[in-house]
Chain A
Amino acid sequence: MMRGQVVPEEARAWTAGLLLATDYFAHARREAVAKASAAIRGRLHRTRRASSPDRETSR
């Protein structure tokens, strides 16, 4: 389950002019890379598990 704000606090601070664009994008980029890295590695892991020969033979 996931729940959160559609427009997070950092984004609100940026659009309101309370946070510099350089700071906002540096933080957003770091977060995006971390989440993308976890998501892609998770997807690759699941794909490997689904296509591994052991799984085929254990059925």
Chain B
Amino acid sequence: MGPAGTGVVVEPVARRRSRLRRYLVAEAGAVGLGYGVAVLRDGAPASGRGWALVVAGAVAVAVPLWVKSRRELRQELDIRSAETVAIETDAKLRLVVGDVVTPIAEVVGRVHQTSGEDREALRGQLQQLVVEAAASLCDAERARAIFWKLERGEMRAAAWFGRGDAPTTVFTDDPGDRRGQEALLLVRFHDYLLVDDVRAEGLPRGAEPRPGATYRSFISVSVFCGEQNLGMLSVDAPEPHAFDETDLNVMRAMAQLLGAGLVDRR
């Protein structure tokens, strides 16, 4: 298990040197020169009042120029920000659909073309690919993704990727294991759960972290296919509010791909 990528937030777009700033400086220079020529055409002012008029005129010319340049620079900044957001969104779409879903779907297909030990090996590989993809795609610093496999009524970590600490939790249906009961219910009802901050008040039942947990926010998604319950895919991060609805949808897609690969023929 290696470290997770730093989410799918794209690298900063290279800052292009603004031409607008140069145009504005040139415009201010030209206006200043024109004003100077107009003032000095008939010679320098001879009195204090004359100089006061020159200064007042200069201020009257400079203020609208300054306001206009500020407005244009702000507009340019807004356009750049919108462009960056558009690039980030487009890049994420390419990454999710082209670089993750497509190759994983191909592995899912191969799982169902094989049998016996080969199939089990491919399923293990698929679990690992899905947690690697989930940790790398979700926008969180130091995210960790885990697939909790459901076997004999309990869930244990079968594959994980991301932050160093290996998951040790076992979710059971024991009366004293409230978190386990709720996790098993989430799987049974084919639900998902996104928690922004486990230290916030008003958490849903069973969403509280175990003592000493290193995460503040998480997403858990049921892994199933048809009526077959297979486990739970989760991603967590040490920061609160690390995940948004896009991450949730990525996790839902990953969970369904995993379910499609792990399901047994009936």
**Residues of A bordering B, CB below 8 Å:** 6-7, 11-12, 14-15, 17, 20-22, 24-26, 28-30, 32-33, 35-37, 39-41, 44
Chain B residues within an 8 Å CB radius of A7: 102-103, 106
The answer on a CB contact under 8 Å between B87 and A36 is: yes
**Quick check: is B219 within 8 A (CB to CB) of the other chain?**
no
Between A and B, how many residue pairs show CB distances below 8 Å? 77
23 A-B pairs with CB atoms under 8 Å apart are A7-B102, A14-B103, A14-B129, A15-B107, A17-B125, A17-B128, A21-B132, A21-B133, A22-B4, A28-B99, A29-B5, A29-B8, A29-B11, A32-B95, A32-B98, A32-B99, A33-B13, A37-B13, A37-B87, A39-B90, A40-B83, A40-B90, A44-B83
- Considering the complex, give the chain B residue whose CB is closest to the CB of A22: B2
The answer on a CB contact under 8 Å between A33 and B104 is: no
- Considering the complex, give the chain A residue whose CB is closest to the CB of B14: A37
Report how many residues on chain B are interfacial, defined by Cβ distance under 8 Å.
Answer: 31
The answer on a CB contact under 8 Å between B107 and A40 is: no
A11-B107 Cα distance, complex, nearest whole Å: 11
**Residues of B bordering A, CB below 8 Å:** 2-5, 8, 10-11, 13, 83, 86-88, 90-92, 94-95, 98-99, 102-104, 106-107, 125, 128-129, 132-133, 136, 161
B222 CB → nearest A CB, Å = 24
B156 CB → nearest A CB, Å = 22
